Structure 1
Amino acid sequence: MRDDEWEDFLWSVNNFCDNHDIVVPNLTACYVEDDMKHLKTQLDHYKLDVFKDPKFKDVDSLPELCRLLVETKKSMIYFIIDRLICLVLNLPVSTAATERAFSGMKLLKTPLRNKMEHEYLNNVMILYIEREIAHEIDIDYIIDRFDLLKNRRLRLK
């Protein structure tokens, strides 16, 4: 998905959001001082509005809060708060992937392998990070396939 399918996936998510009137926040946008002023105002109104709304009474998690904000269309009113919640919900996923990659690099990039080319290191890192998938690969099957390719070339000559 990282190499070939990301653009298609992102397009389908944006298309889904457009079809269901879901605002897609720009998570790469810069936040300036005006946003901080708006945040303070939105928080003040949020305390008065959402805390008194019975629909929000039993909310006990951020994903549930995010879902209710969208369902009640309050995510449009409190757009900066909604943006912050989205960022917080995405943080553990992006942090975990980065930590996993650096841990893998520490194991793979030893002094003996220090002169490894970037492309080869990238391929080895992907195998290490996605090792659950890699363990499912039948190595004997791959070896047999390559062996058949070699024999086929010899037969053609």
Structure 2
Amino acid sequence: MELTLLEDELKNYIFDMRLHTEFFVLKGISSLAQKLVETKDRQYPLVYLIVKLALILPIVTASVERVFSVMKIVKDPHRNRMGDQWLNDSLVVYIETEIFDSIDNDVVT
């Protein structure tokens, strides 16, 4: 249902934006996202959502790949009986090393 709505919304959005000269100078999806935020136009919520997802997806994908890479290091054959909670805690500490390095050991007790 939402895909059909998105298709109609995209057609209307493209038609409407072609009438606004300020959108002619946009060079890519990032400048389109900036313009959407500046104008606070929420008339096309699905278009806004699809642009936001397109910008977030590469970052999230890279983060997930990094987590799986680290999981191979943390959970090796010698530690394959590690529980899920312990694995999650270990991964967070390993991935966010910079944050945990900034915390004083005396605070953690």
TM range (shorter): 0.7 to 0.9
Residue number in structure 1 paired with 2:23: 56
Structure 1 gaps, min length 5: 1-32, 150-157
Residue number in structure 2 paired with 1:9: none
Pick from 76, 95, 100: which aligns with 1:110? 76
Task: Calculate the aligned-residue CA RMSD, in Å.
Answer: 2.5
Moved more, 121-130 or 59-68: 59-68
Higher Rg of the two aligned structures: 1
Give the C-alpha shift of residue 114 in structure 1: 1.0
What percentage of aligned pairs have identical amino acids? 36
Runs of 4+ with deviation above 6 angstroms = none
Matched, 1:43 2:13: no
Give the C-alpha shift of residue 59 in structure 1: 1.3
Give the 5 Å matches for 1:10-89: 33=1, 35-73=2-40, 75-89=41-55
Give the C-alpha shift of residue 66 in structure 1: 2.1
Structure 2 gaps, min length 5: none
Deviations 1:119-157 (A, max 9, x none): 33222211211123344567xxx3xx5xxx9xxxxxxxx
SS at 2:42 equivalent: helix
How far apart, CA to CA, are the structure 2 residues paired with 1:69 and 1:118?
A: 41
Matched, 1:90 2:56: yes
Instruction: Count residues in correspondence.
Output: 107
TM-score (norm 1): 0.56
